[in-house]
Homo-oligomer: A and B are copies of this chain.
């Protein structure tokens, strides 16, 4: 499959150099439908670039976020998760295994959020984050049997 969806060219356009390592981080993020942590990206990337360092993974993830090609999800305890999709959307996070998934939310949420924003008088709101937390199907299944 295409893998990075032409993102490598875009990174290049913005003045960045397209190294093997950067491309690998990018591909890893784009090819996975989960929202991996930096450590998980590191593990994935090591399959194709075995001697990459953790620091490089962190640096490239940060760069992708700065360039606007990924977003960082730093809710919850522990490590940040990274998401190849940029548009703001809802997530669900498992309190047991800390997995994060996307939620397809109807746009009906938007007007409600506008109203909520109005409550923040004097603030310049630039983003919103909506997250549900609970047990994912796998973890709630395990819980059932005990």
Q: List residues of A whose CB falls within 8 A of some B CB.
A: 74-77, 80, 90, 92, 94-95, 101, 103-106, 108-109, 112-113, 115-117, 119-137, 140
In the complex, what's the smallest C-beta–C-beta distance from A80 to chain B, in angstroms?
8
Contacts of A132 in B (CB 8 A): 116-117, 120, 123, 125, 127-129
Point out the residue from B77, B109, B124, B133 that lies within 8 Å of A140, measured CB to CB.
Answer: B124
Contacts of A140 in B (CB 8 A): 122-124
Query: Given A75-B75, A94-B123, A120-B134, list of 8 further CB < 8 A pairs?
Result: A74-B75, A75-B76, A104-B119, A106-B116, A116-B130, A127-B132, A128-B132, A130-B130
Which one of A106, A123, A136 has the greatest number of beta carbons of chain B within 10 Å? A123
Contacts of A121 in B (CB 8 A): 137
Nearest B residue to A80 via CB reads B77
| Contact present for A133 and B128 (CB under 8 Å) | yes
Nearest B residue to A131 via CB reads B129
A104, B120: Cα distance in complex, Å: 8
